[in-house]
Amino acid sequence: MPSKRLSPYADLLTKAIKDKKFPARSKASLIWFNNQVKDLKITLNTSGIGQKQQPKINRYSLGELYYFQYDAKYKQTLPYWDRYPLVLPLSLTRNGFIGINFHYISPIHRTELFNNLLKLQVVGQYKRDKIRTTYEILNVAAKYKYFKPCVKRYSFTRIKKPFVRLDRIDWEIAMFLPMHNFMKQKKEIVWRESALKVKNRTTNRTKIKKNRKNKRRK
């Protein structure tokens, strides 16, 4: 018989607190998190993975913030992947969506990106706050540079319970909860590689602009 337990996020948070990795700046996060998960009773199968649930994401959901449990399709070949993403969907695909998983960058870079994204905040369908943007918009502006290593593709069929849409009032707190769970690699290495990707991309763009400017002068 399947057993009932709290969301697996509770286990992650408990471990983070025990290891003293819970961010001091987000003491209110503990209260918030307990309120979020206390009613999220889920049934787990014998492998410990939640039952499949079709997420409610459509074009009106783009730009809102979600967290969920994920089972990567190509986990055998991926260098690493996040089992518990915190995602801002940007666009829909045939079988899922493409979005920004904030866990792939360090808290410092996450803060910079998130603060810039908040400037794109609007009131969407059903009077819910959302970030109105696209991959193309973010890709051309230097102030959004940290979004690039966070862009991931997610399949609806690989998403597990629970699938939670966060209210606007909870966005900042959720950003700094230690809810990431990188498989096959430590978070510090993931963050370091993401920062390096951004640095290399910025350097290449600077070189391209410089070359174009020199050509105009000739």
Output the pLDDT for position 44: 26
Domain assignment present for 151: yes
Domain assignment present for 16: no
Instruction: Note whether 182 and 190 are within 8 A (CB).
Output: yes
144 lies in which domain range?
51-217
Domain assignment present for 83: yes
Domain assignment present for 72: yes
pLDDT band for position 81 (cuts 50, 70, 90): very high
Domain assignment present for 17: no
C-alpha 48/C-alpha 52 separation (Å) is 12
Domain assignment present for 106: yes
Whole-prediction pTM: 0.75
Domain assignment present for 125: yes
DSSP H/E element including 209: helix 187-217
The secondary structure of the chain in percent helix, strand, coil, rounded to multiples of 5, reads 45, 25, 30
Q: How many structural domains is the chain composed of?
A: 1
Domain assignment present for 120: yes
pLDDT band for position 204 (cuts 50, 70, 90): confident
Rg (CA), the chain: 19
pLDDT band for position 211 (cuts 50, 70, 90): confident
Output the pLDDT for position 155: 94
C-alpha 213/C-alpha 208 separation (Å) is 9
Instruction: Tell me the three state secondary structure of residue 119.
Output: helix
Which is it for the CA torsion 134, 137, 142, 148, positive or negative?
Answer: positive
Question: How do residues 138-181 score in pLDDT, each as one tens digit?
Answer: 999 999 999 999 999 999 999 987 788 888 888 888 888 888 99
